Amino acid sequence: MVSTDERRFVNAQRVGRLATADARAIPHVVPICFALSENTLYSSIDDKPKQDSRRPLKRLRNIAANPNASVVIDRYDEDWTLLGWVLLRGRTEILTEGTEHDHAQALLRARYPQYQTMQITSHPVIALRIERAASWGNLSAH
């Protein structure tokens, strides 16, 4: 599903863009931190202040209405021989607790030192179950 070159490229990048859509297919794209494990890409909701903390984030509302999503992980460089991207598509789940939720957050804490001081354990994790991968360009890991 995700090739070795694509996996290496994804793991070398620090930010991706999550695209969700609501029940009316209106798209919503946000940058995310992520961790890739097997054929699932995880992203945790963190404790940075959002506009209205009493209402679930738009991405979570979209996933509840329409679980299909995509994540693009890309690299831009002024040297266009270094351009590349990987697109991951699949269905998403919102994990609120349990072994997989805790495992995903441990992966994210290991990948992003900023998560070490955040209280993310009570926050949901988005799990993208990768059904299809596509890529283009220079997928070298540098």
pLDDT per residue as tens digits for the range 16-60: 999 999 999 999 999 999 999 999 999 999 876 555 566 789 999
- Between CA 128 and CA 89 the distance in angstroms is 8
Residue 62 clears pLDDT 90, i.e. is over it: yes
User: How much is the average pLDDT of 53-77?
Assistant: 92
The CA R_g of the chain, rounded to the nearest whole Å, is 15
Q: Tell me, what's the pLDDT at 50?
A: 57
The 10 Å Cβ neighbour count of residue 127 is 21
Q: Tell me, what's the pLDDT at 49?
A: 59
Extended strands (E) in the chain: 16-21, 27-32, 35-37, 40-44, 68-75, 84-95, 125-137
Q: Which two tokens stand for residue 132?
A: 């299809």
- Between CA 49 and CA 47 the distance in angstroms is 6
Q: Tell me, what's the pLDDT at 122?
A: 87
**What distance separates the 2 farthest-apart alpha carbons in the chain?**
45
- Between CA 110 and CA 76 the distance in angstroms is 25
Q: Tell me, what's the pLDDT at 37?
A: 97
Q: Which two tokens stand for residue 115?
A: 């998560």
Q: Tell me, what's the pLDDT at 119?
A: 84
Q: Is the torsion defined by CA of 124, 129, 133, 138 positive or negative?
A: positive
Question: Is CATH 2.30.110.10 the right assignment for the domain spanning 4-137?
Answer: yes
Q: What are the extents of the domains in the chain?
A: 4-137
pTM for this model (two decimals): 0.93
- Between CA 68 and CA 66 the distance in angstroms is 6
pLDDT in tens, 77-124: 999 999 999 999 999 999 999 999 999 999 999 999 999 888 888 899
Q: Tell me, what's the pLDDT at 54?
A: 66
Do residues 32 and 42 make contact, with C-beta atoms less than 8 angstroms apart? Answer: no
